Each structure stands twice: as C-alpha cells, then as structure tokens.
Amino acid sequence: MDSLFNSGAERAARRAAIIANHLIQSESASASASLLSASSCLHYNPPELTNPASFNPTHLRRILDGHHVEARDWLFKLMEESPLFCPKKRCEGKVFVAPDYNATKEQQREMTMRRIEYLLNNGVFEGWLTDSSADATMRKFALMECLGVYDHSLVIKIGVHFILWGSAIKFFGTKIHHERWLNDTEKYKVLGCFAMTELGHGSNVRGVETIATYDSSTREFIINTPCESAQKYWIGGAANHATHTIVFAQLLMNGRNEGVHAFIAQIRDSNGNPCPNIRIAECGHKIGLNGVDNGRIWFDNVRVPRENLLNSVADVLPDGQYVSSIKDPDQRFAAFLAPLTVGRVNITAEAVYISKVALAIATRYALSRRAFAVTPNGPETLLLDYPSHQRRLIPLLAKACVQSCSANFLKTLYIQKTPEANKALHVYSSALKAVASWQNMITLQECREACGGQGLKTENRVGILKGEYDVQCTFEGDNNVLMQQVSKALLAEYVAVQKKKNPFKSLGLQHMNGPVSSIPADLTSSTLRSSKFQTDLFCLRERDLLQRFAKEVSYYQAQGESKEKAFLLSYQLAEDLARAFTERSTLQVFLEAEMNVLQAPLKVVMGLLRSMYVMTCIDETASFLQYGHLSVDNAAAVRKEVMALCTDLRPHALAIVSSFGIPDSYLSPIAFDWIEANTWGNLSSE
C-alpha cells in the first residue's frame, strides 16, 4: 500500500513540474511576443505587383470568348447594379455578387423569377426567339454563358423557357405555332417547360410511355399517362411557375404507333392552378439548382386541339390521316430530335465558363497564399511556386483555354447548320458536351482542394459550384450514352467509306485518307512540343482505334451477335475511340486559332497551352501505352514534359486567368485580399 501511495505521489509531482515548466515557458513566450513587430504578421500582396503580363490578356480573351465581348460585359454590369443579385461588400469595399444559398428552395425559386423579370425589363431577351439571324443567336449564347456565371439555377430556368420550350416551338412547329407562341414566349406572357423525361425513361427518348391518341370527331388529341413510370419527371419550371409545356408522347393512330411526337399542352390556368386532368407534384430538394422548380406531371386523358401537334416533320389531318414527308421512322425520329442539339451546345460553353471561374479563383489565391518555408528561417513559399501545386492547376488552365475554342467551334457549327450537317452537329455536340462537363467536375474538385479549407466556404464559390453543375453530366443526354453515340457514328462513317471505297469527307476523318503517320522512337522536348508531332499522334490513335473498333464489332457479329449486342460488348474500345475523336478535334480547332494569332508573345503562350493540353491528355490516359502508340520511355518523357511546361507557364498564370474576362465581383473574396475579408470588422458582411 505504501509503495502504491509513494508511486502515485511521485507521478503527481512529475505532472506538477511539467505544468510549472509550461507556465514558465508560456510567460517567456508572452514576453517575447510583446517584442515582435506587427510586420511579422501575414499581409496580402496583390499578385499583379509581381506577375507582369508578357502579352495583352484582352487579346487572348477575344480568342477564348470568341464573340460578343461587349455584350457580355454589359450583362455582367447590369446584374451587378441590381440589389436582386445580392451584392455584398468585402475586401475593403470590393463588391461581390452571388445567390443566397442559405435561402429556402421556395425563396430561391422566387428570387430566380424576380431576377428574370428584371432581365426581361432591361431588354436582355430581346430577339431571343423572334430574331433568327446568326448574330442574334451568338449573342444569346454569350449572354447565357454570363447568366450561368452568376447562378446555374437562373440560366437553367431561362434555358428551359427559351432553349427547350421556345426552340421546340420554333423548330418542331410551323408558321401557325410561331405566330401564336414565339412573341408571347419572348415577353414571358406564357411560361413554358419541356416534358420529355419520364420516371422510367431519360436518355432513351424513344421509349417514353406517355400516349397520345386522336379523336377525329372533336379534332383533338388525348394525352394520357398510362402508368406510374410514364409520369413526366425532373421537368424544370413545372412545380411552380410554368403555364404550358411541350409533351412528348407516343402517337397511336388507327392501332399503329407512329413514334414519339411533341404536343403543346396548357398545365396551369391564369390563377396558377393546375388545369383539369393535370396533376403536378414537386421533385424535392436537390444537391444543387434549388432555384429551379423541377416537377412531375401526370396527364389524365388531357384533350388538346389538333393544331397543338408540332408538325414540321409529321402531321395529322382533320380526318385522322397521318402524313409525313419522311417515310422512314428512324430518319423521321432523327429529324425530329435534331434541333435539340442546341441544349448540348449551351452546356458545353457553360461548363467551360464555370471551369474558368473556379480556376481564376484558385489561381489568384495560389498567387497570394503562402505555406511553409523551403529554407530555415526563410519566407514561406507561394502555393503556385510549389511544383505539385503547378501540376494541379496549370494543366487545367490549358484545358479550359483549349476547350473554350472548341465550344466556339460548336456554336459556329450550330448557326451554320444544314439538314446535311445534322449528323456532324449531333456527333460534335455529344462529344464536346460530355468531355467539357466531365472536365468541369474534375476542375471544380481540384480547385476546391487547392483552396484548402477556404474552398469549403460557400461565399468562395468553388465548392458550391460542384453541386450546382454536377447535373450537366446527365442532363441533355447521359455523358456515357453520348460518347457511345459518337463511336457508333464514327463506325457508320467508316463502314460506308469502306463499302463504297470513297475517301473520308466529314467529321475531321480526312486524315485517314493519307498514309499512317510514323512516331519517332526517341521523343525530345522540341518534338513533343511540335504541332506536327501532336497532330500525327492524335490522328494515329484515332485511326487505330476506329479500325480496332470496326474489327471487334465485326468479330462479334460473325459470332452470331446482333449489331447492337456487338456494340455493347465492344464498349471499352468505343469509349477510347470517342475520347480520341474528341481530343483530336479539340486540338485541331485550337491549333487553327493559334495559327491566326499575330502577336508574338501571345503566340508563344498559345503554343505552350496547346502543348500542355496534348501532354496532359497523353499522361492521363492509358490508351497510348495500351495500344502501342507510345513506348514506355516515351510516355515517361511526356510526363517530364508536363512538369517542364508547368514551369514555363507559371509566369503567365495570372495573365491567363485575367484573359477569362470574368469580372472581379463574380469571383470570391479569396481571389483577392482574403485576410481583410476575414477580419473581425468584416463579420457583419458575411
């Protein structure tokens, strides 16, 4: 007992001595701290002071934005000037605008509508449906991108009304529909939505279960939801505000299914109440886009006039006779859906724009935030001076710049579209939408992590944008399905050329008419940065994968599998081929833009961005090694070149993000004086 007591007393004495020692050290440290000057505290240094631009960022912006730069700036300023866009002063009076994500979904939806009213009254939507000129269409694209920079809910709500409902009337309808609906839609006298997706069918539009039949005695169509899986689901605008919708339904005529057709149906009366035989329900809270009232719709034998069939492709005469100038059901369905590519065009451009927002924030933060010292007693190092941090952000900068040009290419292809070019537009819009939206999510995640804990704060935007834009990967076509469609289209082109023994003429496949490119055995830095080598390598990969894909599909068919089953069994090659097509196309578009640059300093930076894009694409995919397009040693050389390019691009990082043209107020406090933004005196503005 005595020994236990003694050992306990000894332990207590030791603890008391340790505590006393801590107190003595604490007092000593406090005394020392009082001698420290205020200059030892961290302070913000604007990156502009130490990162001069070697080129004019305005010139690069003209290339990346591509069009309507002044209109973009006008809309950005218009939103900044209104209290509806929640301006807040931070960072010594600097104003930032962003939605209030702390509001309830009901409040967010109400604010979305109030903002739309403000934009309408200020002429933002003028000509969006009534002016079909190329300039008006490109202006609309530009303004949509700016609206998305502020709030995804806002641009989606507007997009459903104009791009889905409005475009459906414009392209599926005829003169009678245009005169009745387009002007009222542009002025928001009607609020439209787009009822295509069902609980049981999303990407497979052909499989929708909603039914439309024709009553010749009353000259009306009867639209019905025959089962629960046929309920229209995720319909933007349906839960609260839409007065009318485009309904996609199987048209049954005289016991024959004529396929999917589109009808106009009113779903709410002038008081905002659901119309008779219409049931509407809420889709609920979402991980993002809570400013959009996604809803569900059931049609209980709803009658609509015969004239409400959008009849540009097919029509039903008063006596019930079905007529169409396109006899083949597959071709009719393709012609019917062709105008919907405009949604994918918008998503592609918006995805790239949001990547640029996140990169501008993360890069500016990395140019002013320091962490750890490389040498004892030395200053802490800027985040962007760490090679690992450069490797995280600079390749993403290159991809955002290169994909900006491909988005502009896609918009131009859309406004120049012809019936003959519908296939190319579908292929390019599917490929670029998928890759851009996937890349956006990769960029947002990397930027969120690169901002550390600050990336978690909603006011710093990057984190919240992940939830807001995640949906891009699955709406307007699931990305994986879209990429499969790309590969199928490439295979069809290949088979047709082989069968007719004609040269390739479309989809950029003309490179397959020439000899196979040879790749040097040993790749030097100058070779790796050569545009000829880069183009040759990307063309070689695409050619090889297309031939492999055709051979594998043919093999499975020879084994007795159907064509569709053969496609499914070859999905890995299909994925690699679609990616190869997209990256080759993107490279060629950017290379064309680069060749048109006259200013030598900018041309140098464009070359670095192109090389970084190519090297990163090679480094991030196994296909170049897997299929023998590069040796192991050459793949290692590519990885080293990525780091060399990071070093070369590091001095230009600030000028590159400045060229994105995103006003300071649409970034976030950590992109500027993040110390001042977090002072005690700024608490009231958080």
Active centre residues (catalytic): 476
Q: Are 333 and 206 in contact (CB under 8 A)?
A: yes
Residue with tokens 């492999």: 548
Q: Are 642 and 391 in contact (CB under 8 A)?
A: yes
Measured on CA atoms in the order 134, 140, 146, 151, is the torsion positive or negative?
A: negative
SS (H, E, C) 444-510: HHHHHHHCHHHHHCHHHCHHHHHHHHHHHHCCCCCHHHHHHHHHHHHHHHHHHHHHHCCCCCCCCHH
Q: What is the DSSP string of 51-64?
A: ---SS-HHHHHHHH
Tell me the C-alpha to C-alpha distance, in Å, between residue 569 and each of 248, 364, 549, 557, 562.
31, 46, 11, 10, 11
How distant is the alpha carbon of residue 592 from its chain centre? 23
Locate 391 and state its tokens: 């490797």
The one-character DSSP state at 326 is -
Task: Give the separation between CA 581 and CA 72, rounded to whole angstroms.
Answer: 31
The one-character DSSP state at 162 is I
Quick one: which H or E segment has residue 222? strand 220-224
Locate 462 and state its tokens: 């990057």
Q: Name the phi and psi angles at 280, rounded to 5.
A: -130, 135
104 appears as a binding residue in the annotation: no
Residue with tokens 């500027």: 672
Helix axes 632-649, 600-620, angle to 10 degrees: 140
Q: Are 208 and 337 in contact (CB under 8 A)?
A: no
Task: Give the separation between CA 430 and CA 485, rounded to whole angstroms.
Answer: 8
Task: Give the separation between CA 181 and CA 173, rounded to whole angstroms.
Answer: 10
Q: Name the phi and psi angles at 656, rounded to 5.
A: -65, -50
Identify the CA nearest to 236 among candidates 299, 283, 190: 283
Residue with tokens 């000509």: 127
Residue count of the chain: 686
Locate 611 and state its tokens: 């090389």
Question: What is the b/e burial string over 250-270, where b = at least 16 CB atoms within 10 angstroms of the residue's CB?
Answer: bbeeeeeebbbbbbbbbbbee
Q: Name the phi and psi angles at 272, rounded to 5.
A: 85, 10
Locate 365 and state its tokens: 């933060």
Question: What is the b/e burial string over 64-89, where b = at least 16 CB atoms within 10 angstroms of the residue's CB?
Answer: bbbbbeebbeebbebbbeeeebbebe
Task: Give the separation between CA 239 and CA 235, rounded to whole angstroms.
Answer: 8
Identify the CA nearest to 361 among candidates 391, 388, 386, 384: 384
197 appears as a binding residue in the annotation: yes
Residue with tokens 């999917």: 260
Beta pairing class for 295-299 and 94-97: unpaired
Measured on CA atoms in the order 521, 524, 525, 527, is the torsion positive or negative?
A: negative
Query: How many helices (H) and strands (E) are present in the chain, helices listed first?
Result: 24, 15
Task: Give the separation between CA 364 and CA 367, rounded to whole angstroms.
Answer: 5
Instruction: Write out the binding residues for FAD.
Output: 197, 236
Instruction: Show binding-site residues.
Output: 197, 236
